[in-house]
């Protein structure tokens, strides 16, 4: 099976299908993250598309330094969400083409209720984190909504790993015990 | 906090939406090919047979010829009656396929004859091989013949052949007469069961440097129905003819249930991965730009000071039905491209050149003294890691249908496979490789994927290639862009995929001037897979 490194290498050489494979693999993760940051479905979907359009535009300048494209994509997502209007203006035409593709018809009542409910939960559940200063919020959102390690978060945000650790520690202090560390290293056992 | 995470699934695209959006995105980023068929790319290596054209040629080529006396046109074949009954059919070419079929039928032998353009073969399997008794003794399943001369098929009774044999022994007929009358092959219609027939196909082939003259033919005995010949390029077909995986013959029945771990079980896979990486001795393994411990091929090239090296890793993965994995990677012996580089690496203390993240991995020494990295992870397929097995089992096991099912062809697609160096062809090939690399792919699907791959124009056959684990096999390879290409190595006996690789065929074009051409960029050799009962257990036949 082609891994992210191979797919990204092909994407860099202009292979749109390889890029499509990366989209299929990571779009749900990127959209989850954008939902979490924006608590708005339309905004999150546009942001997700923008993340990939941005990745494609910058493909020649971006390299993967881990086995996964997740840090790279979430790093872009972080910027896209932060500078919402600016990046989306650039891709206005492309977004028009991608938007509303594969949309669940809004007249399915049960679906609509489930969506409203999920958004409501997102808004209330993330309130505490959204109150944090932006720098801490970004780090914590990545920690909460992706499987990235500290090293990969550092990669995504272009920060030294020490800074990631200190921002998480500070955010935790603000939030209290509400936020356990999901990436606490588990000791691996010896294989015989 | 983790517990209070809302369920986002109503807000996330499902599989179908994801696929539709993917297609829209791919179109949006690459508007040049929207609505247009992919242009056949220019390639440096390999055969470039356009299959559609070749088929058209095949149809046109069926335009000949039983010679009338004095006609300078060469004879496709000639039928000569034998003394005392029977006929000798001298075949100079199979061009008049239907005429030859009729001549054999008249002599009492049912036959299917196909004449193909040069460089083409029929896709196998298309019939069940069989055996007939020969009038001269022994039995025949098939043979290859070729040359500028005739293929002589003698059809007659066993009785008559024995007479000729005695006459020859007694010196009553010359060697020439004898051999001419018995021919290349002797067939007795009475030895054929009603369901048995002859399958004969061939193509022009130069002999003794004469590009005009000569042919090559394949003569087989079949039982039961014979499917019509579907021409494929010989480069591909010779791979297809290397072997057919067990159970994938013409009469292949339902595939056995694929191996999926049940509750409490794990799918164990062992691969050897060789990767081209850069290691920077001055930074002691640290990327100077990001100050992180990363060692990747990105550091190679003019900007980087890194030393290129092939880094082998033995990868073991235990995956539970939920897609959670336990992984174990043992670093092998790092191979540099020069002794100087090796020395610089040793002088810098030979640190392990792989990514090391203490928050995620445990790195220690294995029993061999080599670094072992252990970590828990999750399959990129996500929580329902084996949902794709259902999809695999629904895929057609007929090669053409399989290709169409997985092809990402928007708009009206033509039936012919897109070349390997086009976007569509490359993407199709990658999906077929994924199918072949899956430990749960059934034998029938493997055979279909293999045949579908072999039909994609632009691939080249390489014989006697060694994989990362040192196993020899036959490979198919094709170019991708920027000096990169793909190579798949198969076991020629079983057609099993041994290894798949991304190869730098042209180092300069690929932007890796420090490495020789034909360097592996990344190769995965599939060593073993099986179901085990714990994530510390290996299948019994593990080395």
β-pair type (B307-319, B335-336) = antiparallel
Nearest to B519 by CA among B471, B484, B482: B484
Q: Does B13 touch chain A (CB under 8 A)?
A: yes
Whether A138 and A124 have beta carbons less than 8 Å apart is answered as: no
> Residue A180 — very low, low, confident or very high, per pLDDT cuts 50/70/90?
very low
Residues near B485 by Cβ (< 8 Å), separated by ≥ 6? B45, B477, B478, B479, B502, B503, B504, B505
Half-sphere exposure of B143 (CA within 13 A, CB side): 11
**Residue B172: what pLDDT?**
78
Q: Could you give phi then psi for residue A116, rounded to 5 degrees?
A: -60, -40
Structure tokens at B512: 């890796």
Distance in angstroms (rounded) separating the CA atoms of residues B476 and B238: 10
Helix extents (H) in A63-160: 70-82, 84-90, 92-98, 109-125, 127-130, 134-145, 150-157
**Residue A19: what pLDDT?**
93
Contact map slice: A 142-171 vs B, CB within 8 A: 144, 147, 149-152, 154-155, 158, 160-161
Helix extents (H) in B197-263: 234-240
Buried b (16+ CB within 10 A) or exposed e, A45-77: bbbbbbbbbbbbeebeebbbbbebbbbbbbbbb
CATH of domain A1-108: 1.10.1740.10
Q: Indicate which of A121, A185, A186, A189 best probes the interface with B, i.e. most B CBs within 10 Å of its own CB.
A: A185
Q: Which of A6, A63, A180 sits opposite B298 (nearest CB)?
A: A63
Nearest to A119 by CA among B18, B2, B15, B7: B7
**Residue B287: what pLDDT?**
42
Q: Which of A44, A111, A118 sits opposite B7 (nearest CB)?
A: A118
Question: Nearest CA to CA, how far is A43 from chain B (Å)?
Answer: 12
Q: How far is CA B283 from CA B288, B351, B464, in A?
A: 6, 11, 40
Within 8 A of A177 by CB-CB distance, chain B residues are none
Rounded mean pLDDT of A125-137? Answer: 74
Closest residue, chain A, to B25 (C-alpha): A98
Closest residue, chain A, to B328 (C-alpha): A191
**Residue B160: what pLDDT?**
73
Rounded mean pLDDT of A120-149? Answer: 75
**Residue A183: what pLDDT?**
40
**Residue B418: what pLDDT?**
77
Q: Quickly name the fold that domain A126-179 has.
A: Arc Repressor Mutant, subunit A (1.10.10)
Structure tokens at A96: 């028009």
Question: Nearest CA to CA, how far is B215 from chain A (Å)?
Answer: 41
Closest residue, chain A, to B424 (C-alpha): A17
Distance in angstroms (rounded) separating the CA atoms of residues A142 and A33: 7
Residues near A90 by Cβ (< 8 Å), separated by ≥ 6? none
**Residue B232: what pLDDT?**
67
What is the number of other CB atoms lying within 10 angstroms of the CB of residue A180? 10
List, run by run, the mean pLDDT of 10-residue segments along chain B (543 residues): 61 81 82 41 26 28 26 63 77 82 89 80 75 72 68 77 75 71 77 90 67 71 85 53 36 42 84 80 44 39 61 88 83 83 75 60 70 73 64 79 73 64 78 80 80 80 84 82 82 80 82 78 87 84 50
**Residue A20: what pLDDT?**
92
Contact map slice: A 26-45 vs B, CB within 8 A: 27-28, 31-32, 35-36, 41, 44
Buried b (16+ CB within 10 A) or exposed e, B56-80: eebeeeeebbebeeeeeeebbbebe
Within 8 A of B12 by CB-CB distance, chain A residues are 28, 31-32, 35
Whether B271 and B527 have beta carbons less than 8 Å apart is answered as: yes
**Residue A32: what pLDDT?**
87
Q: Does B394 touch chain A (CB under 8 A)?
A: no
Closest residue, chain A, to B287 (C-alpha): A65
Nearest to A27 by CA among A59, A74, A67, A81: A74
Domain boundaries, chain A: 1-108, 126-179
| Cα angle: B309, vertex B312, B314; to 5 degrees | 165
Within 8 A of A121 by CB-CB distance, chain B residues are 6-7
* CA pseudo-torsion sign B157, B160, B161, B162: positive
Length of chain A: 192
| Cα angle: B406, vertex B475, B337; to 5 degrees | 115
Domain boundaries, chain B: 51-240
Q: Which of B11, B17, B287 sits opposite A115 (nearest CB)?
A: B11
Within 8 A of B27 by CB-CB distance, chain A residues are 97
Closest residue, chain A, to B502 (C-alpha): A6
Within 8 A of B294 by CB-CB distance, chain A residues are 65-66
**Residue B197: what pLDDT?**
92
Q: Which residues pair with B309 in a beta bridge?
A: B277, B336
Distance in angstroms (rounded) separating the CA atoms of residues B409 and B430: 14
**Residue A38: what pLDDT?**
80
Q: How far is CA A25 from CA A70, A102, B382, B415, in A?
A: 10, 16, 9, 28
Q: Could you give phi then psi for residue B494, rounded to 5 degrees?
A: -110, -10
- Identical fold between A1-108 and A126-179: no
């Amino acid at each position: 099976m082609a891994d992210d490194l191979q797919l990204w290498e092909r994407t860099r050489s202009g292979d749109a299908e390889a890029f499509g494979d990366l989209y299929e693999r990571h779009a749900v993760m990127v959209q989850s993250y954008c939902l979490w940051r924006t608590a708005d479905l339309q905004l999150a979907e546009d942001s997700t598309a923008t993340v990939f359009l941005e990745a494609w535009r910058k493909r020649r300048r971006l390299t993967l330094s881990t086995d996964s494209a997740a840090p790279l994509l979430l790093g872009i997502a972080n910027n896209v969400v932060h500078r919402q209007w600016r990046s989306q203006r650039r891709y206005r035409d492309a977004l028009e083409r991608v938007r509303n593709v594969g949309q669940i018809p809004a007249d399915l009542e049960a679906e609509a209720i489930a969506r409203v409910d999920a958004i409501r939960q997102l808004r209330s559940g993330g309130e505490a984190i959204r109150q944090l200063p932006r720098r801490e919020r970004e780090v914590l959102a990545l920690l909460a909504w992706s499987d990235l390690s500290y090293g990969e978060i550092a990669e995504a945000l272009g920060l030294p790993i020490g800074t990631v650790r200190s921002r998480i520690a500070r955010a935790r202090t603000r939030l209290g015990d509400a936020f356990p560390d999901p990436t606490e290293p588990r000791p691996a056992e010896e294989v015989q | 906090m983790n517990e209070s995470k809302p369920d986002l699934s109503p807000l996330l695209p499902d599989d179908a939406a994801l696929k539709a959006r993917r297609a829209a995105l791919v179109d949006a980023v690459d508007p040049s090919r929207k609505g247009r068929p992919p242009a056949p790319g220019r390639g440096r290596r390999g055969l470039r047979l356009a299959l559609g054209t070749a088929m058209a040629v095949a149809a046109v080529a069926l335009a000949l010829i039983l010679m009338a006396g004095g006609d300078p046109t060469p004879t496709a074949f000639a039928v000569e009656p034998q003394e005392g009954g029977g006929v000798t059919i001298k075949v100079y070419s199979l061009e008049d396929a239907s005429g030859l079929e009729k001549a054999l039928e008249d002599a009492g032998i049912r036959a299917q004859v196909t004449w193909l353009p040069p460089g083409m073969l029929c896709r196998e399997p298309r019939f069940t091989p069989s055996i007939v008794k020969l009038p001269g003794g022994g039995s025949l399943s098939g043979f290859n013949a070729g040359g500028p001369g005739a293929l002589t098929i003698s059809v007659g009774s066993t009785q008559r052949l024995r007479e000729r044999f005695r006459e020859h022994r007694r010196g009553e007929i010359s060697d020439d007469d004898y051999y001419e009358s018995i021919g290349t092959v002797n067939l007795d219609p009475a030895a054929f069961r009603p369901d048995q027939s002859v399958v004969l196909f061939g193509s022009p082939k130069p002999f003794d440097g004469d590009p005009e003259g000569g042919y090559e033919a394949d003569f087989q005995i079949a039982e039961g129905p014979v499917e019509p010949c579907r021409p494929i390029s010989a480069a591909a077909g010779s791979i297809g003819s290397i072997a057919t995986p067990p159970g994938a013959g013409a009469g292949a029945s339902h595939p056995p249930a694929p191996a999926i771990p049940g509750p409490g079980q794990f799918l164990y896979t062992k691969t050897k991965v060789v990767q081209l990486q850069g290691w920077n001795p001055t930074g002691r393994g640290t990327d100077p730009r990001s100050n992180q411990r990363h060692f990747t091929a990105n550091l190679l090239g003019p900007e980087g000071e890194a030393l290129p090296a092939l880094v082998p890793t033995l990868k073991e993965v235990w995956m539970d039905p939920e897609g959670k994995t336990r992984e174990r990677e043992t670093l092998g012996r790092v191979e540099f491209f020069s002794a100087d580089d090796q020395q610089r690496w040793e002088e810098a203390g030979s640190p392990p050149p792989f990514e090391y993240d203490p928050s995620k991995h445990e790195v220690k020494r294995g029993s061999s003294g080599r670094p072992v990295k252990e970590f828990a992870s999750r399959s990129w397929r996500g929580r329902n890691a084996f949902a794709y097995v259902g999809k695999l089992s629904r895929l057609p096991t007929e090669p053409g249908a399989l290709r169409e099912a997985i092809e990402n062809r928007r708009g009206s697609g033509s039936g012919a496979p897109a070349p390997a160096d086009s976007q569509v062809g490359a993407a199709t090939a990658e999906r077929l490789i994924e199918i072949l690399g899956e430990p749960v792919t059934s034998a029938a699907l493997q055979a279909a994927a293999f045949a579908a791959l072999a039909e994609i124009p632009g691939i080249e056959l390489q014989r006697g290639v060694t994989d990362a684990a040192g196993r020899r096999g036959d490979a198919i390879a094709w170019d991708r862009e920027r000096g990169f290409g793909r190579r798949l190595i198969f076991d020629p006996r079983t057609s099993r995929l041994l290894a798949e690789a991304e190869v730098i065929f042209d180092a300069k074009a690929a932007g890796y001037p420090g490495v020789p051409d034909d360097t592996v960029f990344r190769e995965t050799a599939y060593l073993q897979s099986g179901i085990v009962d714990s994530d510390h257990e290996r299948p019994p036949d593990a080395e």
